Structure 1
Amino acid sequence: MQFSEQWLRTFVDPQLDSAQLGHLLTMAGLEVEEAEPAAPAFSGVVVARIVEADKHPNADKLKLCKVDAGGAELLQIVCGAPNAAAGMKVPCARVGAVLPGDFAIKAAKLRGVESFGMLCSARELGLSEDHGGLYALPDDAPVGADIRDYLGLDDTLFTIKLTPNRADCLSLSGVAREVAAVTGVELRPVAVIPVAPSFEARRGIVLDAPQACPRYCGRILRSVDARARTPEWMVRRLARSGIRAISALVDVTNYVMLELGQPLHAFDNTRLQGAIHVRLPQEGETVLLLNEQTVTPAVDTLLIADESRALALAGIMGGEESGITLDTTEVFLESAFFAPDAIAGRARSYGFSSDASHRFERGVDFELARIAIERATRLILDICGGEAGPVEEAVAADALPARAPVRLRPARARRVLGITLDDQAMLELLRRVHLAVERSGDDFLVTPPSWRFDIEIEEDLIEELARLHGYDNIPAVAPQGSLMMLPRSERSRPVWALRHLVAARGYQEVINFAFVEEAWERDFCANEEPIRLANPIASQLSVMRSSLIGGLIGNLATNRKRQTDRVRVFEIARTFERKADGEPVAGFHQVMKLAALAAGTVVPEQWGEKARNVDFYDVKGDLEALFAPRRLDFERLSHPALHPGRAASVRLDGRSIGILGELHPVWVQRYELGSAPVVFEIELDALLAAEMPACAEISRMPAVTRDLALVVGVEVNAGKVVEVLRAAAPAIVREIELFDVYHGKGIDPDKKSLAFRVSMQDTQRTLEEGEVEAVVTLLVRQAEAVLGARLRGAGD
């Protein structure tokens, strides 16, 4: 909201300069985004009257003017403005004046004729971009007066950024209330004296939707002159609030909205038929709005209508067919209260916004409608003439907002604020902002006024106390406390340690939105019924993620579009699934997971190693390193996001804890990734668990290794063979690792050869050859018995 400092000071005038006032407003919660002068700096410009305007003797487009600038003698000034005429009052820059841009005015000779000054346009004074002619001043402008004083140009335009809960400050009266409350300076509100009716004509009002519009006031004005000129002071205040003057009747309604905070609307009374109805739309009904847009109102959009047709979108915008024109002589003036829920979001759904809807959807004082219509009536009669009828008011009292008292515990307020503020000081601060306060034992019962929609709970009142006491007056006290070393189990590791481990493998952490595109859930999770957001911040972020993979694919796609081929990213975050007994919210289960993605080359481009794209086994090695010394098992997996045959289920202690694999070629092509990345996603709890460290003697005895080549069916997984061999191995077997897989000559087509290296060692003695051979024989027999394997070469 933008407003003039001079206008504000007509309501409340604290002994503060502009900078101090701006800081005060910001610290009171009305953040000042911008404070700029109403006009650029210039000097030596006065109000002047053109006495004569004759043709220049040596130029067709110039005029030779005799100008009264308040001095003893008339000034001779050559002027090229097309509208320069005798009797006109204009700004005159006398010799010695300095205009914006440090343009100094000197005596000059133009086409052989001396000129002692310059008659100015609005653009030359920096007041607007109008350069079509001289800036015409009102006839009553005092000749010789400094133009800065006359036009009030030594003014500051404040632009404040209001939070949505402070709609009461969308007016000069509201801002002035806050300044008076914070400074303690006397508030001078607008004196509104009811206008006595001159005739008894009324127009009936029917509230067909009282919950949406519980109060509506209307009044007929006759014999008004819509062509009357809006006073200069009103045009100036409107302009400095960012509103362009249109016509006297429209300007008055805008002025009262800025002054009091109550939007109003003026209808041409001769275009109305019968009573005014505040109702919901009928099927197929359309409205032609003042912005020349024809809309078909939604079923929940409130309308203002007469007996024959819809006239306007209530609280949003008036209609063209019932609007006032310069020929209007009879006006029906409207002032109403519309419930915020009935207006919120409606204007945006039609693709526009308005000052009225901006206020009504945030909350307008529901006791203000009659005061505002009286204020607007007086201004219209003073400017446009005419006479007024009585105010017709329809009220659904039971539908007006309730103002329930809020309990404030002074002891809790002191504890939350961290300052010593006695009960009497709290009482005085709360009453400064017109809150009705009563004692209830040791507590206060505080009832907010009709214009405060933001006070509903105790914390709102504590915030008021902090604001009014002054944030600057609340000392910044360093926190103190006794810290105790808490026990930490060695069976778990902190998340930060896990982050360091993943980063050490060359991955960079990312943070993505928890809400994602619905297509990601369908493509990467085969989830046709994701958890949908009731009010998404964007159409492409409409569902909650059940996997972190989609976000990482999005990161990769963004990098690939920026010619970054090698990408390694990871994320630790929450995923969301439907589950009847879910936690912490029933029906929804939240699971913390770690997911990572690797794409591009294994190592950055360098001279020492040949470039090779990352594959399944590279990422498998990274994953195993995160779990070391615990062992992982991997099983073939079919997953919608992953390549068939290049995907595995990750298992720990016999339980599936995640997935690992290369992205499916379909998604590589659809998301324009170029080459397939490899991803894994693991439950975070499994990663945070750790084995207890155990002391083990380091053997000084030599180790013995034997290689076993076992022939098994092609359908037998190598992991299953390792599992069987480890289960049968005696204590002296330290490790069994697969080092070769062979298909081809000498092996049946339905068989494959798996070669394992068996490491054996004892801590007390050197192993004998017989012991080693016995272990090898035991392992071979176990593989034969369980898997139908045979030792390669035996029986070939």
Structure 2
Amino acid sequence: MQFSEQWLRTFVNPSLDSAALGHLMTMAGLEVEEADPVAPAFTGIVVAQIVEAEKHPNADKLRVCKVDAGTGELLQIVCGAPNAAAGLKVPCAKVGAVLPGDFAIKAAKLRGVESFGMLCSARELGLSEDHAGLHVLPEDAPVGSDIRDYLGLDDTLFTIKLTPNRADCLSLSGVAREVAALTDSMLTLPAVQPVLPGIDDRRSIVLDAPAACPRYCGRILRGVDAKAPTPEWMKQRLQRSGIRAISALVDITNYVMLELGQPLHAFDNARLDGAIHVRMPRAGEQLKLLNEQIVTPAVDTLLIADDARALAMAGVMGGEESGITLDTTDVFLESAFFAPAAIAGRARAHGFVSDASHRFERGVDFELARPAIERATRLILDICGGVAGPVEEAVAVEALPQRPAVRLRPARARRVLGIDLNNAEIESLLRRVHLAPVQSGDDFLVTPPSFRFDIEIEEDLIEELVRLYGYDNIPARVPQGGLMMLERSESSRTVWDVRHLLAARGFQEVVNFAFVEDAWERDFCANDDPIRLANPIASQMSVMRSSLIPGLVANLATNRKRQQARVRVFEIGRCFERKADGEPVAGFHQPMRIAALVSGTALQEQWGERARPVDFYDLKGDLEALFAPRELCFERVSDPALHPGRAAAVMLDGRHIGVVGELHPVWVQRYELGTAPIVFEIELGDALQAEMPVFATVSKMPAVARDLALVLGQEVPVARVLEVLEAAASGIVSAIELFDVYHGKGIDPDKKSLAFRVLMQDTQRTLEDSEVDAAMNALIRHAELTLGARLRGSGE
């Protein structure tokens, strides 16, 4: 909403400058978006009258004017404006004046004729873009007076951004009430006196939809002069409020709307037929609005009609066929209260918004209809003449908004605000905004006035208290509290510890959207029923991810398109799956996971190492380092995202916690990756558990190392062999490690040879050969019995 500071100060005039007033309103919830001067800075410009205007002797388009600028003698000024004529009163910049843009006026000679000043257009003064001619002033403008004083140009245009609940401030009266309450200044609202009827003409009103329109006032005015000029003071206030002056009758209704907050509408009474009906539309009924738009109102759109046809869309816009014109002499003036729910969205449904609908859909004072019609009637009679009939009012009392009392507990207000307000101060603050509190025991009962639709619960009243007290006046206290260092178990680590571990191994963290493409879920997760978003921000982000791997693959594809061959990235994030007992949202499981992807060379290019592509075991080593000293196990697995023969399940303490492997060749080709990356994805919670190292005595005795080569079937995994050997190891066996895998000559094609180094040692004594042989034989026998292995070189 835009309005003039000078107009506001006719209602309330606090001892604040424009900047302080704007800050005050903003801090009270009436956010000032703009505060612009009405006109740019200029000096030395006065009201002047052209006494003579003769053609320039040496130029066809110039005139030599004799101008009375109130100096006691006529000034000669050469002017090129086409409307320069004797008798006009116009702005005159005398010699020494400074126009906007620091343009100084000096005596000059134009085509051989001396000129002592400049006659100005509206654009030259910065008042508008009109440069067609001189800015013509009213005939009663006092010659010699400063143009800034005469036109009230030392004014500020405030534009405030109101929240939807403060419709009471969509008027100068509403803003003035707020400013008066905030500054405890005197409030002078326009006096509204009933206009005594001079005729008995009336038009009956029928409320066919009382729930949508519980109050409707109408009045007939006869003999008005629609061609009467709108007073300059009214034009100025309208224009500075962003409303174009049209005609006196229309301008008056707009003026009252801005002044009091009540939208009004004037019908041409001669075009009306019978009673006024406030009703819903009939089937197929159409209406041509004042904006020349023909609409077919929906069944829930309220209309104003007479006995013959629809006249207007209630609370939105009038109809073309019943509107006033410059030939109108008899007016039917409407002032009504429409329920916000009956107006909300109706104008936007037809692609426009009106000033009336903007107010009605937020809530207009339901007691204001009659005072507003009286105020508008007085202005019409004063400006356009005529005589008024009585006000016809139809009211459905039971449908008017109810204003139940709201209980305010002072003790709770003090606790919520942290301000020590006593009961007397609370009562005084509330009375300043016309919220008359009534003592009820230790509490206050506050009945909101008819113009405050936003006061419904106790918190609304507490908000009023802090607004009036002033947010700037609330002391800034440093929070105080006792802090205690919490114990942190050494058997756990934070997410940041995990991030640092991966970063130390050359990974970079990425953050991807949890919203992904539907195709990603089908390809990488074999998920044909992903969790879909009701309102996706983009068509390619329509489902929730159930895996982090697709996002990392997309990161790799982006890097490949930018010639980045070596990529090492990881992400920690939440995934989303359907699960009946999911938490915190029933039906959905939301685990936190960690995933990583490597591609390109194993090491950065350098002189000391030959370049080689990264492989499964590189990422497997990174994964094992993340869990060290805990040991992971790996088992063959089938996963839709991974290569069928190069994928493994990650096992921890016998539990499946994730997968690791090479990306499936189909997806490598489909997503144009060139070479297959290696990825893993595991549950984050397992990575946050740490294992404390356990002390073991360092033996001073010599160790014995023996090699053990076993021939087994190709299908037997190494992890299973190690598990069997460790189960058969005696107490002197301290470590068993794989150091060679052999396929080829001397080994059956369906077999493989695994060579292990067995380290044996005792902390107290030197081992004897018999003990070492017995320990080795026990390992061999257990492997033969359990796995069907044979000692390499021992024959069949």
* TM category, shorter: 0.7 to 0.9
The answer on whether the counterparts of 1:49 and 1:87 sit within 8 Å (CA) in structure 2 is yes
Q: Which amino acid aligns with 1:155?
A: D
* Match in the other structure for 1:206: 207
Deviation string 1:590-636 (CA, Å, 9 cap, x unpaired) is 44444556667766677776777766655544444333333334455
SS at match of 2:53: strand
* Match in the other structure for 1:159: 159
1:677 positional shift? 6.3
* Match in the other structure for 1:49: 49
The answer on whether the counterparts of 2:629 and 2:693 sit within 8 Å (CA) in structure 1 is no
| CA RMSD of superposed structures (Å) | 4.3
Could you tell me which runs of 5 or more consecutive residues in structure 2 were left unpaired when the two chains were aligned.
none
The 3 A distance-change label for structure 1 pair 115 and 200 is same
Deviation string 1:439-468 (CA, Å, 9 cap, x unpaired) is 333223333333334444433333322222
The 3 A distance-change label for structure 1 pair 74 and 408 is same
Percentage of matched positions with identical amino acids? 78
* Match in the other structure for 2:458: 458
Deviation string 1:2-31 (CA, Å, 9 cap, x unpaired) is 322212212211101112212222222333
Q: Partners in 2 of 1:553 and 1:158 — Cα distance? A: 53
The 3 A distance-change label for structure 1 pair 610 and 382 is farther
SS at match of 2:36: strand
Deviation string 1:57-83 (CA, Å, 9 cap, x unpaired) is 111111222222222122221111122
Q: Partners in 2 of 1:52 and 1:154 — Cα distance? A: 31
Q: Partners in 1 of 2:741 and 2:274 — Cα distance? A: 93
Q: Partners in 1 of 2:434 and 2:626 — Cα distance? A: 62
Deviation string 1:216-259 (CA, Å, 9 cap, x unpaired) is 55555555554444333333223333333344444444433333
Deviation string 1:168-218 (CA, Å, 9 cap, x unpaired) is 3333222222221111111222323344454433253434482x5555555
Query: Residues 108-507 of structure 1: matches in 2 within 5 Å?
Result: 108-197=108-197, 198-202=199-203, 204-208=205-209, 210=211, 213-266=213-266, 315-316=315-316, 324-326=324-326, 331-341=331-341, 344=344, 352-507=352-507
Q: Partners in 2 of 1:527 and 1:153 — Cα distance? A: 69
The structure with the largest alpha-carbon Rg is 2
Q: Which amino acid aligns with 1:450?
A: S
1:103 positional shift? 0.4
The 3 A distance-change label for structure 1 pair 725 and 82 is farther
The 3 A distance-change label for structure 1 pair 17 and 233 is same
1:58 aligns with 2:74: no
Deviation string 1:126-174 (CA, Å, 9 cap, x unpaired) is 1122222111222222222211111111112223333444333333222
The answer on whether the counterparts of 1:726 and 1:736 sit within 8 Å (CA) in structure 2 is yes
SS at match of 2:237: helix
Deviation string 1:340-371 (CA, Å, 9 cap, x unpaired) is 45555565565554444444444443433444
Q: Which amino acid aligns with 1:159?
A: T
The answer on whether the counterparts of 2:201 and 2:220 sit within 8 Å (CA) in structure 1 is no
The answer on whether the counterparts of 2:123 and 2:129 sit within 8 Å (CA) in structure 1 is yes
Q: Partners in 1 of 2:640 and 2:360 — Cα distance? A: 49
Deviation string 1:303-325 (CA, Å, 9 cap, x unpaired) is 66666766665555555565555
Q: Partners in 2 of 1:94 and 1:412 — Cα distance? A: 65
1:718 positional shift? 5.0
The 3 A distance-change label for structure 1 pair 201 and 344 is closer
Query: Residues 439-588 of structure 1: matches in 2 within 5 Å?
Result: 439-507=439-507, 526=527, 528=529, 530=531, 532-533=533-534, 572-588=572-588
The 3 A distance-change label for structure 1 pair 781 and 73 is farther
The answer on whether the counterparts of 2:210 and 2:396 sit within 8 Å (CA) in structure 1 is no
The answer on whether the counterparts of 2:202 and 2:392 sit within 8 Å (CA) in structure 1 is no
Q: Which amino acid aligns with 2:202?
A: A
1:379 positional shift? 3.6
The 3 A distance-change label for structure 1 pair 518 and 742 is same
Deviation string 1:523-560 (CA, Å, 9 cap, x unpaired) is 66526362645x77778777666555676677777778
Q: TM-score, normalised to structure 2's length? A: 0.84
The 3 A distance-change label for structure 1 pair 215 and 505 is farther
The answer on whether the counterparts of 2:28 and 2:467 sit within 8 Å (CA) in structure 1 is yes
The 3 A distance-change label for structure 1 pair 485 and 76 is same
The 3 A distance-change label for structure 1 pair 278 and 106 is same
Q: Partners in 1 of 2:472 and 2:752 — Cα distance? A: 79
Bigger mean CA offset, 71-80 vs 699-708: 699-708
The 3 A distance-change label for structure 1 pair 55 and 374 is same
The answer on whether the counterparts of 1:491 and 1:692 sit within 8 Å (CA) in structure 2 is yes
The answer on whether the counterparts of 1:207 and 1:394 sit within 8 Å (CA) in structure 2 is no
SS at match of 2:182: helix
Deviation string 1:469-488 (CA, Å, 9 cap, x unpaired) is 12222211212222233333
SS at match of 1:462: helix
The answer on whether the counterparts of 1:284 and 1:296 sit within 8 Å (CA) in structure 2 is yes
Q: Partners in 2 of 1:358 and 1:64 — Cα distance? A: 52
The answer on whether the counterparts of 1:705 and 1:759 sit within 8 Å (CA) in structure 2 is yes
Could you tell me which runs of 5 or more consecutive residues in structure 1 were left unpaired when the two chains were aligned.
none
The 3 A distance-change label for structure 1 pair 504 and 153 is farther
The 3 A distance-change label for structure 1 pair 545 and 107 is same
Q: Partners in 2 of 1:556 and 1:304 — Cα distance? A: 64
Q: TM-score, normalised to structure 1's length? A: 0.84
SS at match of 2:450: coil
